[in-house]
Amino acid sequence: MKRNRLLLLISLPVMLLAVVPAVYFGWLGWMYTHPDKKPIQNTPEYFEMPFANVSFPSHDDQITLRGWHIQGAKPDQVVIFAHGYKENRESASVALYLADALYEEGISSILFDFRGSGESDDGTTSLGYYEKDDLLGAIDYAKEQGYRRIGLVGFSMGASTALDVAPHVPEVRAVIADSPYTDLNLYLQEHLPNLHAMPDLFFLPKLILWEIKVLTGIDVRDVQPIRAIGQMQSKAVFLIHAEGDEVIPATESRMLQHASSAPNTVLWVSPSQDHVGTFNADPNNYLKRTVVFLQYHLSKDDPPVI
């Protein structure tokens, strides 16, 4: 009996050393994948744009997504917006300003919340893994409305998701990716502390990513915009990044441009120091360049069939 008690006393600290870190890593993984929803503060009504509240399922039929449909004069052109991590369809008003500028040119917009964000149903935020199905659900909705010339505009997580989705959708003609990453697995291993405060231990990101996969099934190795951009020969890509971005460094967009095989991939690195900060640093130039890019590529005639 004494021997059993002694073994228990000896093994208890060892068990605690194993269990406590596992619980802590699991908690961190949960915090990353279930951030608090950010409330929506402005609507298209603020810009005096007519709009409809819409809902549609994600492509995998698992989640109901909600958003706005702003209908422009051109019946076949639409731009779908994809927001960033911990954001919503409003995207710090950048999306609404751009949607307003597009509306003035007759181009429709669809702005929606990813799962677990804004007013969409609760779900696991995955930095691009599940969000691909959400963006494909928005594209499905757009095609049901008759749109056949589709542009994608994404910010941060949404930018990378747009790049990942675009090669698989023939109707997508142009992508604007503001502050994307290249490879989710490599990015998180190096920059996970940028998203959530954590102890400065080199092995923690790999352990947390392993726990996230165990708990949620998310395999971050499947999210590789740098691979996708090499499959977009017939599409136009406009990469935008702030030089001083410390959340997702501008080197990520430079690597994406280098990996692109499309002749019409362009890169604009602004002097801003903030993540997704180019619009705030130079809003007039931002709107002018993005609207012209989308106008041109959504209106361009289809290549002849030979």
Predicted pLDDT of residue 201: 45
**Residue 286: which domain range?**
42-183+223-299
Distance CA 180, CA 239 (A): 8
Does 82 have pLDDT greater than 80? Answer: yes
Q: What value does the mean pLDDT take over residues 28-55? A: 88
Answer yes or no: do 149 and 198 share one domain.
no
Answer yes or no: do 207 and 103 share one domain.
no
Answer yes or no: do 26 and 69 share one domain.
no
Answer yes or no: do 70 and 155 share one domain.
yes
Does 36 have pLDDT greater than 80? Answer: yes
Predicted pLDDT of residue 208: 59
Answer yes or no: do 78 and 131 share one domain.
yes
Predicted pLDDT of residue 67: 98
Answer yes or no: do 177 and 104 share one domain.
yes
Cβ(108)–Cβ(295) under 8 Å? Answer: no
Predicted pLDDT of residue 126: 86
Predicted pLDDT of residue 276: 96
Answer yes or no: do 167 and 270 share one domain.
yes
Cβ(149)–Cβ(78) under 8 Å? Answer: yes
Virtual CA dihedral for 140, 159, 85, 96, nearest 10 degrees? -80
Does 269 have pLDDT greater than 60? Answer: yes
Question: What number of residues does the chain have?
Answer: 306
pLDDT digits (tens, 9 = 90+) for 96-112: 999 999 999 999 999 99
Q: What percentage of the chain reaches a pLDDT higher than 70?
A: 79
- Domain count for the chain: 2
- Output 66 or 213, whichever has higher pLDDT: 66
At 1, the pLDDT band (50, 70, 90 cuts) reads low
Share the mean pLDDT of the chain: 86
Residue 305 belongs to some domain of the structure: no
Residues linked to residue 146 through DSSP beta bridges, in sequence order? none
Task: Calculate the alpha carbon distances from 19 to 196, 200, 215, 290 in Å.
Answer: 22, 20, 15, 51
Answer yes or no: do 293 and 156 share one domain.
yes
Answer yes or no: do 111 and 239 share one domain.
yes
Q: Is 223 exposed, middle or buried (0-12, 13-18, 19+ CB in 10 A)?
A: buried
Min mean pLDDT across 91-95, 114-118, 190-194, 249-253 is at 190-194
